[in-house]
Amino acid sequence: MSFSLKILGCSSATPTTWAFPSAQVLNMEERFFLIDCGEGTQVQLRKHNIRFSKINHIFISHLHGDHFFGLVGLLSSFHLLDRKKDIHIYSPKGLKEAIITQFRITNTYLSYYIHFHELSTSEPQVIVDDKKLVVKAIPLKHRIETYGYLFQEKLKERKLNVEQLEKYKVEICDYRNIKLGKDYLTDSGQLIDNSDLTFDPPKALSYAYCSDTAFEPKLFEWVKHIDLLYHESTFLDDKITLAKKTGHSTAKQAAAVAKNAKVGKLILGHFSARYKNRTLFLDEALEVFDNVELSEEGRVFSIKN
């Protein structure tokens, strides 16, 4: 099992000739989750050969334009492509009104149904829970209501040790319980520990998206030990006062979150266009945390067991 994360846009505020605002796609076993949808997202989806029909869940962090201005166009394109399958959109309150108003004014009717899930929580909250994964909304610290999203794979069943099963003459009808972690009682009354009959399953993988946010120590616990963290780094440390004023983070602050949360890898993004050399963000973050990479439009990050 593996996750792969495709960066579609990682610039803050406005698109430029060389950068797109926030958008990315998380691929989990060919299930595609769109996270934020800045201007130009559907162009990026086409450019990177991501089929529109595979996107059934969209997660919007907050209602600043660089995170959702591409959404109404994408939803319209879904209709023009004769989409029939429902779509689920998760966001702070207000997005439904913004989308429905635009469709009403333009006399647009959709060929599919949108489920709007409007969030309101001060603690991490489960918003998706299915057989394979759990998604939590994480409240962030920005100028308006903002959420990050934590994607956590569910632990798979244990793997059977066939040789040991044969040794203890375990019946096939007991395999299911053993895969679920239960011990086995032989006909002679001997209790066989489950660890003697199975192998550990692959590690459950996890990814968190945190944009936009000021430095937030609560994240140390909320994203603790995850495999991959995307954390905004709008500014360098020379603009730390501006970061605090605008509800953003610096590269060093993002790295401090990664270090204190003991994450596997940190990805920096949401760069201010005032900086032409993005490697400066990497240099600053590496002073604090040793496994850091930079977002870049089109770049793929893989998370593997």
Contact in structure between 285 and 256 (CB atoms under 8 Å) = no
Torsional class of 13: left (φ above 0), alpha (ψ -120 to 50), beta (otherwise): left
Burial class (CB within 10 angstroms; exposed 0-12, middle 13-18, buried 19+) of 9: buried
Q: Please give the angle made by the CA atoms of 184, 189 and 195, to the nearest 5 degrees.
A: 25
Q: 251-261 and 279-286 are packed helices; what angle lies between their axes, rounded to 10 degrees?
A: 40
Compute the distance between CA of residue 219 and CA of residue 147 in angstroms, rounded to an integer: 12
Residue 147, helix vs strand vs coil = strand
206, two tokens: 């996890």
Compute the distance between CA of residue 98 and CA of residue 110 in angstroms, rounded to an integer: 16
Rg (CA), the chain: 22
Compute the distance between CA of residue 137 and CA of residue 123 in angstroms, rounded to an integer: 8
58: nearest Cα among 79, 74, 40: 74
Query: Is 66 a residue of the active site?
Result: yes
Out of 36, 66, 212, 227, which one is annotated catalytic?
66
Compute the distance between CA of residue 23 and CA of residue 209 in angstroms, rounded to an integer: 11
Q: Please give the angle made by the CA atoms of 288, 10 and 263, to the nearest 5 degrees.
A: 35
Q: Cis (ω within 30 of 0) for the bond into 130?
A: no
Compute the distance between CA of residue 282 and CA of residue 285 in angstroms, rounded to an integer: 5
256: nearest Cα among 220, 211, 295: 220
Contact in structure between 225 and 261 (CB atoms under 8 Å) = yes
Which residues form the catalytic set?
66
